[in-house]
Amino acid sequence: MMPSTHDWINCPLGVVEGMFAASQNNPNSGWEAKAVEFFKNQLKEKDAHTWVPSLNDVPLHYLKPNSLVKFRCFIQDMFDPEFFMGVYETVDPSTKAKVLRCGKYKDVTECGVDFNSSNTVTAERQTFYCVPIPGENPWVKESYASTSQARVVPSTSYAPTRQKRSYEEDDDDMDTQPQKQREPHAGPQSPTEHHGNGDCKRQETEAPSNQTASASHLDLNFPLPGEKGPSCLVKVYEDWESFKLNDLLEVYGILSVNPALSALADEKDTSSSIQDPTECMETAEEQRVHSPPASLVPRLHMLYARPLPHNNPLLPCTTVEDNSAFLSSSLSEMASVRAELLAYFTHILLGDALAAEYLILHLISNVYTRRDVLPLGKFTLNLSGCPTAASYTERFYQIIQQLVPSSYYLGMSLQNMNQMRLVPKKDYVANRLVSGALQLARNTSLFLDETQLEQGQLDTTGVRNVTALGNLISWQKVDYDFNYHQMEFPCNINVLIVSEGRSLLPSDCQIHLQSQVTAPQLEEYLSSIHMHPQSSSQLNKFRIYLCMARQLDYNISDEMTKSVEEDFVDMRKDDPQSVSAEDLHRMLVVARLLSLSLGQTSLSRDSWLRAKHIDMLRRSRMEQHKCVNGNEP
Amino acid sequence: MFSRQICSNSYVHTRGDISATMSSPTSTPGGRKRGRSSNPATPSSEGPTSPPSQRRKGQDSSNGDLMPMPTSPATDMLSPAAPQDTSLFSSPRPSVPPNEVDMSSPLMYGTPSSRVEGTPRSGVRGTPARQRPDLGGFLQRFIDPTSKEDENAGLDLNEPLYMQKLEEISVVGDPVLSVNCLHVQSFDAELYRQLICYPQEVIPTFDMAVNELFFERFPDSILEYQIQVRPYNALKTRNMRSLNPEDIDQLITISGMVIRTSQLIPEMQEAFFQCQVCAYSTRVEVDRGRIAEPAVCRHCNTTHSLALVHNRSVFSDKQMIKIQESPEDMPAGQTPHTTVVYGHNDLVDKVQPGDRINITGIYRAVPMRVSPIQSSVKSVYKTHIDAIHFRKTDEKRLHGLDEDAEQKLFTEDRVQTLKELAAKPDVYERLSSALAPSIYEHEDIKKGILLQLFGGSRKDFSQTGRGNFRAEVNILLCGDPGTSKSQLLQYVFNLVPRGQYTSGKGSSAVGLTAYVMKDPETRQLVLQTGALVLSDNGICCIDEFDKMSDSTRSVLHEVMEQQTLSIAKAGIICQLNARTAVLAAANPIESQWNPKKTTIENIQLPHTLLSRFDLIFLMLDPQDEAYDRRLAHHLVSLYYQSEEQMEEEFLDMAVLRDYIAYARTYINPRLSEEASQALIEAYVDMRKIGSGRGMVSAYPRQLESLIRLAEAHAKVRFSEKVETIDVEEAKRLHREALKQSATDPRTGFVDISILTTGMSATARKRKEEVAQALKKLIQAKGKTPAMKYQQLLDDLRGQSETAITRELFDEALRALADEDYLTVTGKTVRLLA
């Protein structure tokens, strides 16, 4: 079966219009629901979704306008709802024949609209401004791209749109084009293949980025600096209340790149002065933001969207419960993978096994619920005592980057803290939410490098940024700045702080790194970490492991509850000063994460004891350190 | 009162010879009375020139403006309504096409934008049913005896309301009649329906009815222009989010916050053309945003000789206002929606960015053209609201309570649920346990915070010179770090609609109060309010209270007792309301609470500030086994119970929020006779406790606190009367808090003077004794003018039976120095002669 022969991919509007026409004799046919259902069913078919080309890895100019495409994205902003002509009537100027047309999933009407027709139906839709998932790591992008089986041929519409894309050059994309049409892989895990075509892939994925770079006068509003990729205005036709800001979605929709949609300021000047009076009220900025050139920010009319629980391409994209086969097969392996991962981390953390253990716990932590204001399950780790030599922290981050689907490195230098925009802010002139580095998707790893911080003055922005980071860590929320008021957006971000001494930011758990490597050898040791990169299959195992462990369900039996209570009472009896409610909170989280990291879905006596044990070890190390340094608070 | 004074006439138009007759509006009443859109001299407009926005629609195109003006407006247009006349109230233009009627309506103000072709629904809908003859009846007969609106202050509620308003208009001369749509609805539901569905047609007929009625009643009055009816409070839509295509062309009321206002936009209403050849002039009306330029001069038949003369054309004022959903109306996790509003003529510059407003207007949608050349259009409509009426919801907060903003709409069902809940005997316990369920125990603290959320009753003694009594309960939590103080604060901040959360470390006095800023655009001074003012009628949560600088803390003195905030900055001197309850949390100075010290010593806060807190709670680690066990159970269950299980156990946060809002709005308990007796007794008892030992254990401030707490407790019960049980609970809670915070660690007695003077009575007595002993010691030494500090201390220690600490010794020295007996310089003590 050749995927490219599918009309529903190449010409979805034809399907929609066919259904619309058929419904005209039958007013209550509910054709709209049927149309959506049709596409859903088509996509349900095995592998069907891989035939749909993705905006993430195919340059925009290779995609056929008005074809079905998918987009793995992050809702960065929500614009105001708009009213459009759901159904309208056109009049042929010569024959005066009236025809009813469907305006759904389209931006522009046909010619000769009769505005006074009584058959016009006004409908409502919502626009989301979507960007690629912020901080998505290269291995994720590559892996997604390699599973795609979409056949993308430079379409005939490619030539006419060319002059519209005046910014970019036609580079050597044509040469890499055949890569797209190669045979589907047997499995993404196969390491050689994966590496073999990595380079070609990169060239392709960079194609759209050239575009954005050269058109930098138009800020595409990515949360993180230096991000690349297309952004998209997604038009949502139903259920838009169910989507939330910062959600991860895979949108299947009809691509619309009609050049008439672009409203550039210079065009406005040349147009006639007789204008719709409502239009001249918008500022130029607002125009630019809300109607950017379609060649840069395409419109996507959503047919179907799948919320993504994670963006790990190696895991099936459903919740774990629905995938019990996959679950049971990997549960048994988890303990062994964990051991390997522990060894790997121990090696990286200069031979410190305890810190490696905590690092695993941190990486699988997840805010699984909130009790009134209290987020449960967060586990912010402060790794103190990191060597500043040989850019250790950067190397460390590169390793994290290889393991988690999305991550961001934030060097907490004075300059960064004073200048960076961390908290999103509403720009009322352009009427959009200007993004900040803390607008991140669920389970993104935020790597805070405090070793970059030097002495100096924090200005107002700096103080605000540090407060925002503190709030993020303590309450897992970010207060977006709406100028007249603030609005709280809950988040779920794994924050890892590396520092020399104790961090100035709060954390759930601090562990001081005990290096087994002496200072003179450090340089050599560090360079050797990168000398032996883990094999790709090994990495993939780790990647699956970390995502799996995060998604497991967990409970505590009544029996264990009792025994934990007993333990707590006993500990308090011995030394009430040293064990507080906060310690119990932390130990419960550690025990939870420890169990999950071993693939156990309920707390066992052993895990509890082990959690207590490692917490004790960690504390005694802190005491020691305090004695040595004497300057800890 | 500090809104920027932007001159509403900032657009000054140079006018030709006509201006002489137009600049004085009062002299031109009759001739222009259909030009409703002329800008009335609103109080805010200070410019000497009236804007050039006169419209003379309906007059013939000849020089109407130079006609002699009839002084009585009632003659030509407003003949009395004949009831049998089926046309529109025997208007002077008996069969006006709808478009013509529109021209005199406030919603049009001659906006071409609102008449652009293809407004999605208007073509579909026919004109409404014919005129209802009892429109006038509504105005003449409607009585609203229960009216609470402040616009109606001073009106006789048993007389027809709108007739009184008309009378007011005849006196004041401001020809605007605001009509509450609820009144229309209660008078005639069908009329209301028509008003909502066909505002464009119904409002003009309202106008006519009102004007007829008015000039019938007050035939001699002279108005600048016809009376405009401005309906408000249409219940069609409340929330911006619920606007949908159904609402197009209907009268709606939504609430929101102004985020941006545009410059004033002069919009041409009528173009003035003059022939370059023969100077013949002609006027062309703007039609749907376009002006048809006459191609041929009618007088001399020259083609293309007519030129537009700008300063003789007629313009009207227009302003674009952007409003955004209020944060309270929004579902979590979404961004607020915005809507464009056009204000015309005198509605221009009525609102400023930051204002919370209720706006009534007509919702419109206009198709967008991609470009004039292309015939295909974007299938999207531009939507906006043509404003008819603005109502600021936060305006009154400066002088009084705003019922309107507080008034959440409670459905019948909701009220029923709340009342059922209130009827339960254990409602107090239920609510307090529903508060921050994730925080374990601290029952009394939660109860205290609950009472704080409800607050006492507001009393006004300003006539007797005492001013407002504080109704808000202030609470201070102090205790060991890590006892979830911050978490409690966060919870409260999230619970109350108007809460603010600040941290003592990060806030300055300016951030708490208000600061004056120069607006970069207008170069005018703007007052920006801080956390305390923003939380007016709410709760201001201040974390790390102890880390606050002294100057910052000092602003709290006024706020916490007088509930106002005085500002004298950059030429602005004012007093703002800050009726905020303060919930503060402080850590002990030594990071761990020292049980051997008093509260003051532990947290090092000035006692003047401490005495302003009604309740001071200690949050300490109790260190007892049973407690530990329950705590452990609570925490563990947090981690494994599912969401549903938790919800079964506790009240929903939304219910709690509604309960509090309802009680705060509707319940205003007064003291009953028994309750006052009980309070008196309680106070006398409290005074007695200490008097035996020469200590004062209660001050009037404590009595006030008791009253507030008792009232709050009555509110919890939804009771209009404060009864003895309320007083009992207030007493208990107050005692609990005192027991924790004002116990003298040396004697174990409760001593309020710890909080009021910063020192317990025993400590004071002890200091006195040591000072005397020291004096004796020095006198015994004979005539030595100077002594070594350390030696003196050792001597005193040797002599005294009780231990004398260095602090005590220092204090004794200071006391003697105050008596001018000696001075201390470095390590030596010198006697003064």
A627 pLDDT band, cuts 50/70/90, is: low
In a mutational test of the B interface, the residue from A107, A127, A484 whose CB has the highest number of chain B CBs within 10 Å is: A484
Q: How far is CA B409 from CA B8, B414, B661, in A?
A: 35, 10, 10
Contact call for A581 and B327, based on CB within 8 A:
no
Q: Are residues B814 and B781 in the same domain?
A: yes
Whether B193 and B274 map to the same domain: the answer is no
Q: CB-based contact (8 Å) between A482 and chain B?
A: yes
By Cβ distance, the residue of B124, B244, B336 closest to A118 is B124
**Contacts with B, A 316-355, CB within 8 Å:** none
Q: Does A284 touch chain B (CB under 8 A)?
A: no
| Interface contact flag, B340 A281, Cβ < 8 Å | yes
Q: Which of B120, B370, B629 is opposite residue A569, by nearest beta carbon?
A: B629
A80:B320 CB<8 A:
no
Contact yes or no for B335 and A78 at CB 8 A:
yes
User: Is residue B256 located within the same domain as residue B200?
Assistant: no
Q: Are residues B358 and B273 in the same domain?
A: yes
A78, A82, A83, A235, best to mutate vs chain B, most B CBs in 10 Å: A83
- The reply to whether B119 falls in a domain is no
Residues A65, A69: Cα–Cα separation, whole Å? 10
Instruction: Give residue A202's Cα distance to chain centre.
Output: 20
Identify the residue with better confidence: B146 or A103. A103
Question: Mean pLDDT throughout A233-237?
Answer: 91
Predicted local confidence at residue B506, as pLDDT? 62
Would the CB atoms of A568 and B631 count as touching at under 8 Å? yes
**Cβ contact, residue pair A475, B367, below 8 Å:** no
**B534 to chain A: nearest residue by CA?**
A485
Q: Contacts of residue B112 in chain A, CB cutoff 8 Å? A: 277
A412-426, B34-48, B599-613, B736-750: least confident range: B34-48
Residues B520-566 have pLDDT tens digits of 555 666 666 677 777 777 788 888 877 777 777 777 777 777 777 77
Of B320, B384, B632, the CB nearest to A565: B632
Do B365 and B273 share a domain, yes or no? Answer: yes
pLDDT for B67 beyond 80: no
Q: Find the residue in B nearest to A114 (Cα).
A: B118
- Decide if B332 and A103 are in contact by the 8 Å CB cutoff: no
Q: B790 and B826 in one domain?
A: yes
Q: State the average pLDDT over residues A325-339.
A: 77
Q: Minimal Cα–Cα distance from A149 to chain B, Å? A: 34
- Can you give the pLDDT at residue B518? 66
How many CB atoms are closer than 10 A to CB B413?
Answer: 8
Q: Do A241 and B334 touch (CB under 8 A)?
A: yes
Which of A78, A122, A463, A557 to mutate: most B Cβ within 10 Å? A122
Domain that holds residue B173: 135-232
Position A234 confidence tier, pLDDT thresholds 50, 70, 90: very high
Domain boundary among B232, B259, B284: B232
B442 located within any domain: no
* Chain A contact probe: residue of B480, B630, B636, B657 with most A CBs at under 10 A: B636
Q: What is the tally of structural domains in chain B?
A: 3
Note whether A111 contacts B322, CB cutoff 8 Å: no
Q: For A272-282, what is the mean pLDDT? A: 44
d(Cα A606, Cα A590) in Å, to the nearest integer?
A: 13
Q: Which residues of B touch A458 (CB under 8 A)?
A: none
pLDDT number for residue B149: 55
Chain A contacts of B371, Cβ < 8 Å?
260, 267, 271
Q: Which of B378, B383, B437 sits opposite A107 (nearest CB)?
A: B378
Query: Which of B113-117, B365-369, B490-494 has maximum average pLDDT?
Result: B490-494
Rounded to whole angstroms, how far apart are CA atoms A102 and A121?
Answer: 10
Residues B629 and A569 sit within 8 Å (Cβ to Cβ)? yes
Residue to test with chain B: of A282, A572, A575, A579, most B Cβ within 10 A: A572
Question: Does residue B817 have a pLDDT over 60?
Answer: yes
Residues 543-562 of A with CB under 8 A from B: 554-556, 561
Higher pLDDT, A25 or A459: A459
**Same structural domain for residues B170 and B205?**
yes
Contact assignment for A581 to B340 by CB distance below 8 Å: no
Give the closest of A110, A281, A554 to B320, CB-based.
Answer: A281
The yes-or-no verdict on residue B121 having pLDDT over 60 is no
B641 DSSP 8-state letter: S
> For residue range B215-264, what is the model confidence (pLDDT) as tens digits?
888 887 777 777 888 888 877 566 788 888 888 888 888 888 888 788 78
The two three-digit tokens of residue B327, written as one number:
């944060």
Beta partners for residue B743, in sequence order: B750
What kind and span of H or E run contains A130? strand A121-132
Where is average pLDDT lowest: A215-229, B406-420, B635-649? B635-649
Residues B277 and B387 occupy one common structural domain: yes
The neighbouring-strand residues paired with B583 are: B475, B541
pLDDT of residue A319: 54
- Distance in Å, alpha carbon of A490 to nearest chain B alpha carbon: 8
CB-based contact A141:A48 (threshold 8 Å): no
Is residue B228 located within the same domain as residue B254?
no
- Whether the pLDDT of residue B699 is over 50: the answer is yes
Å between A284 CA and nearest CA of chain B: 13
| Cross-chain Cβ contact B621/A82 below 8 Å | no
Whether B166 maps to a domain, the answer reads yes
- Min Cα distance A205 → chain B (Å) is 31
Nearest Cα residue in chain B from A463: B506
Residue of higher predicted confidence among A233 and A203: A233
Question: Domain check: are B375 and B305 in the same one?
Answer: yes
Q: What is the dihedral of CA A218, A223, A224, A229, to 10 degrees?
A: -60
For residue B300, being part of any structural domain is answered with yes
CATH number at residue B388: 2.40.50.140
Q: Which pLDDT belongs to residue A118?
A: 77
The reported pLDDT for the residue numbered A628 is: 52
Other C-beta atoms lying within 10 Å of the C-beta of residue B255? 21
Q: How far apart are CA A135 and CA A224, in angstroms?
A: 7
Closest CA in chain B for residue A101:
B379
Picking from B374, B392, B410, the residue at the C-terminal end of a domain is: B392
Decide if A78 and B633 are in contact by the 8 Å CB cutoff. no
Mutate to test the interface with B, among A244, A247, A373 (most CBs of B within 10 A): A373
By mean pLDDT, which of A152-156, B91-95, B709-713 is the weakest?
B91-95
Would the CB atoms of A122 and B365 count as touching at under 8 Å?
Answer: yes
Mean pLDDT within B753-776: 67
Is it the case that residue A247 has pLDDT exceeding 80? Answer: yes
pLDDT tens digits for A352-379? Answer: 889 999 999 999 998 888 777 788 888 9
pLDDT band at A128 (very low <50, low <70, confident <90, very high): very high
A461 touches chain B (CB under 8 A): no
CA distance B323 to chain A (A): 10
CATH number where B784 lies: 1.10.10.10
- Give the pLDDT band of residue B389 (cuts 50, 70, 90): confident
* pLDDT at residue A129 is higher than 80: yes
Shortest CA gap A112–chain B (Å): 7
Cβ–Cβ below 8 Å for A107 and B116: no
Most confident of B118-127, B379-388, B609-618: B379-388
Q: Do both B186 and B257 map to the same domain?
A: no
Q: Is A94 on the interface with B (CB under 8 A)?
A: no
| pLDDT for the residue numbered B32 | 35
Query: Does residue B719 belong to any structural domain of this protein?
Result: no
The CATH number that applies at residue B200 is 3.30.1640.10
The residue from B178, B199, B232 where one domain ends is B232
- Give the strand order in the sheet containing B539-543: B499-503, B539-543, B581-586, B475-479, B615-619
Reference A113, options A101, A95, A125; nearest CA is A101
Q: What is the pLDDT of residue B136?
A: 67
Q: How confident is the model at residue B155 (pLDDT cuts 50, 70, 90)?
A: low
Flag if A369 and B643 touch (Cβ within 8 Å): yes
- Please name the member of B290, B337, B639 whose beta carbon is closest to the beta carbon of A592: B639
- Using the beta-carbon criterion (under 8 Å), do B290 and A120 form an inter-chain contact? no
The number of C-beta contacts closer than 8 angstroms across A and B is 216
**Closest residue by Cα to residue A314 from A122, A100, A491, A546:** A546
Alpha-carbon gap, residue B182 to B215, rounded angstroms: 26
Q: Are residues B264 and B381 in the same domain?
A: yes
At B751 the pLDDT is 56
The sign of the dihedral angle between the CA atoms of A458, A462, A464, A467 is negative
Q: Could you tell me if residue B283 is inside a domain?
A: yes
Dist. CA B830–CA B733, nearest whole Å:
51
What was the pLDDT predicted at A345? Answer: 87
- What is the model's pLDDT at position B346? 81
Is B621's pLDDT higher than 70?
no
CB contact under 8 A, A124 and B245: yes
Residue B358 lies in a domain: yes
Residue B167's CB is within 10 A of a number of other CB atoms, namely: 16
What mean pLDDT is predicted for residues B465-493?
75
Nearest-CB residue to A565 (from B503, B633, B639): B633
In chain A, positions 224-253, which contact chain B (CB-CB < 8 Å)? Answer: 241, 244-246
User: Domain for residue B180, yes or no?
Assistant: yes
Burial B607-637 (b: 16+ CB within 10 A, else e): bebbbbbbbbbbbebeeeeeebbebbbbbbe
* pLDDT(A73) > 60: yes
pLDDT in tens, B429-443: 777 777 777 777 777
